[in-house]
Every structure is written in C-alpha cells, then in structure tokens.
Amino acid sequence: MLEVLVFVYENYWRGDACPELHALERKLSAHGFEPDEIHEALVWLDGLNIAAQTICLPQETEAEWKPAPSDAAMRVYSVAEQDHLGAQCLGFVSFLESSGVLPPALREIVLDRAMAAPAPVQLDALKIIVLMVYWRFGHEPDALILDELCDDSEDRVAH
C-alpha cells in the first residue's frame, strides 16, 4: 500500500490534482501495481478525503498553520494508538507538533490515517502518511521538515 501512496504523491502535484478514485485505480493498475495494494491504498485515500472534509484549515500563509500555544491542552494517546504506532512514531508526531508544523487538526488526521495503516506502523511509513496529509491539503512543508520526512535516518552518520 505504501508504494502506491508514494507513487500517487510523486505523480500528482496536490490532492486536488489527483483523479477520481476509479480513474486512479485504472492508472495504478496500468503502472503494474497489484490489485490488493491498489484496493488498500484507495480505501486509505478515501478515508483521508473523508477526514479532510471534516476540518477546514487556512491555506493563505504558513503562519496560519502554526497552532496557537495553549498550556491547558494536552493530547493523551490511547493504549491502542500506543500499541499500533509505538514510541518512535509518537515521538516523531510530538516533534512535528512542537516544531509548529503539525497543527492539532492535522495531527488528528495523521493519527487517524496511521491507525488505518497495517500494524505495526514503522517511522518510515508514518513519514509517508504525514506527507500524504500535507499533500491532501495542498501544503508543502518547509525545506527542513521536508528533508526530515524524506530522509532515511538509517544512512545518517554521526559526527
């Protein structure tokens, strides 16, 4: 499924540039993806579309994406979320949120779509999910965050 999502991300500039799911299914099949992978990805994308319709985010300026600080708000993860995502993925979500690039509404969509992915979700899969959520809203993260999302941490060399 993740390979299909990466293909969609790379081939369609924004979520609104993506064809309807039936047309996308034919295109994915023509590119040689397995029917089961295509079906899983289309169900996942449909869930992303439904989740995206439930919120309205400003798309004017990046400053509007930054969440307003609130000392009273705290996200508590359920046991199911902890089991499905693991500490590494939840830590990465926390990093994005504390960096001001993942507002609470988008965080909830990321978590919803991560819970819809096969368990256990690895960090690389979560990064693809985050990219797809940004993609759906037509938002390209800044260069440093995009580098963090696209970088393979396995190849990093400590200084």
Q: How far apart are CA 4 and CA 109, in angstroms?
A: 19
How many Cβ atoms sit within 10 Å of the Cβ of residue 141? 20
Confidence of residue 24 (pLDDT cuts 50, 70, 90): very high
Name the pTM for this structure. Answer: 0.83
For 74-108, the pLDDT digits (tens) are 899 999 999 999 999 999 999 999 988 999 999 99
To 5 degrees, how large is the angle CA 54–CA 18–CA 15?
A: 40
Average pLDDT value over all residues in the chain: 86
Confidence of residue 61 (pLDDT cuts 50, 70, 90): very low
For residue 45, give both structure tokens: 């994308």
| 154 vs 36, residue with greater confidence | 36
Please answer whether residues 85 and 123 qualify as being in contact, where contact means their C-beta atoms are separated by less than 8 angstroms.
Answer: no
Q: How far apart are CA 35 and CA 60, in angstroms?
A: 38
With a cut of 80, say whether residue 15 has pLDDT above it.
no
User: 3-state SS of 84-143?
Assistant: HHHHHHHHHHHHHHHCCCCCHHHHHHHHHHHHCCCCCCCHHHHHHHHHHHHHHCCCCCCH
